[in-house]
């Protein structure tokens, strides 16, 4: 349940967004206040499950319904699989239903597409990484889902990794100056990664002593040329424009990793439903 504790603030915010000042007015008007029930959450599509502890926390905070996990996070599920059972006050079940499903569907969608890309890249020894292109406020959960899909988290934020991009280079007055300043300031605290848009930038990054070179929005054939130029003197990350549809055109070009914003900003939510059984 560690991830749910870390994300409790996000979960409370999501519930407050749905409940507003007056709570679930439909359930309050229609259902007896002491009514109880049970329900089951089912997936309608194949998926890699992610977000079960978060869903459990939703129902705990929405009024104390008990959430029993049937399929653990990180497990693949086929259509029609029962993922969890929820039981308790009807107001808690109905009040938490949409928020719980939103988290589960979103996170399972990220884990599912990540797992698909990891399976494609694995034979080439290439790591699939996420980016900072995450939903505001949801980064800790979305990067958790990436890990469940077998992906690798890039830096969590600006505080735990160095990537010198074009605007940093412009602000510093040159790539070599930017790398030297980063190295002098941070010593060996972080590897120094430099963004390169063409082969000239790759040469400059190598000369500056960069530890990792990010090949930004390069065509696959140019990636191969850049890898040959680097020749093992730095790590190589491919970034920009890579999707599930075109990833195979990049693989086998000598990179160590591919960072893909798609897996967090464009993953399709998994189709889930909560089927309710009301107690008499």
* Over residues 258-279, mean pLDDT: 94
The reported pLDDT for the residue numbered 278 is 76
d(CA 268, CA 122): 22
Q: Where in the chain are the domains?
A: 2-116+267-278, 118-265
Does the pLDDT value for residue 110 go beyond 70? yes
> Do the bridges between strand 272-278 and strand 36-43 make them parallel or antiparallel, or are there none, so unpaired?
antiparallel
Stated length of the chain = 280
Q: Are 46 and 77 in contact (CB under 8 A)?
A: yes
Q: What is the mean pLDDT of residues 241-250?
A: 94
Of 74, 86, 83, the closest CA to residue 271 belongs to 83
pLDDT digits (tens, 9 = 90+) for 61-96: 999 999 999 999 999 999 999 999 999 999 999 999
DSSP 270: P
pLDDT, mean of residues 43-65: 97
180-199 average pLDDT score: 96
Q: Which tens digit of pLDDT belongs to each residue from 225-245? A: 999 999 999 999 999 989 999
Q: What is the pLDDT of residue 1?
A: 59
Domain 2-116+267-278 classification at class level: alpha beta
Is 70 exceeded by the pLDDT of residue 59?
Answer: yes
Q: At what angle do helices 175-186 and 199-208 cross, to 10 degrees?
A: 40
pLDDT score, position 280: 58
Question: What's the CA gap between 125 and 138, in Å, rounded?
Answer: 29
Please state, rounded to an integer, the average pLDDT across all residues of the chain. 96
Q: Cite the active site residues.
A: 98, 133, 165, 195, 216
User: Could you tell me if 218 and 241 are in contact, meaning their C-beta atoms sit under 8 angstroms apart?
Assistant: no
| Fold that domain 118-265 belongs to in CATH | TIM Barrel (3.20.20)
Q: Which residue has the tokens 């412009």?
A: 170
């Amino acid at each position: 349940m560690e991830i749910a504790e870390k994300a409790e603030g996000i979960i409370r915010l999501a519930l407050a967004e749905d409940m507003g000042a007056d709570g679930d007015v439909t359930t309050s008007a229609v259902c007896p206040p002491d009514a109880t029930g049970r329900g089951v959450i089912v997936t309608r599509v194949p998926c890699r499950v992610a977000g079960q502890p978060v869903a459990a926390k939703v129902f705990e905070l929405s009024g104390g319904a008990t959430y029993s996990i049937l399929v653990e996070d990180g497990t693949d599920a086929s259509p029609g699989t029962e993922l969890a059972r929820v039981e308790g006050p009807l107001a808690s079940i109905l009040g938490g239903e949409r928020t719980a499903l939103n988290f589960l569907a979103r996170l399972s969608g990220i884990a599912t597409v990540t797992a698909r890309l990891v399976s494609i890249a694995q034979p080439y020894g290439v790591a699939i990484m996420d980016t900072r292109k995450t939903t505001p406020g949801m980064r800790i959960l979305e990067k958790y889902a990436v890990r469940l899909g077998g992906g690798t988290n890039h830096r969590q934020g600006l505080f735990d990794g160095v990537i010198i991009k074009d605007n940093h280079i412009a602000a510093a007055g040159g790539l070599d100056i930017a790398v030297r300043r980063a190295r002098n300031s941070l010593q060996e605290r972080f590897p120094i990664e430099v963004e390169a848009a063409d082969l000239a930038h790759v040469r400059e990054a190598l000369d500056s002593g960069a530890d990792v070179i990010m090949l930004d929005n390069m065509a696959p054939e140019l990636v191969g040329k850049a890898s040959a130029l680097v020749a093992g003197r730095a790590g190589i990350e491919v970034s920009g424009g890579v999707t599930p549809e075109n990833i195979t055109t990049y693989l086998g070009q000598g990179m160590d990793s591919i960072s893909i914003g798609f897996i967090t900003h464009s993953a399709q939510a998994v189709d889930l439903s909560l089927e309710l059984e009301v107690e008499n």
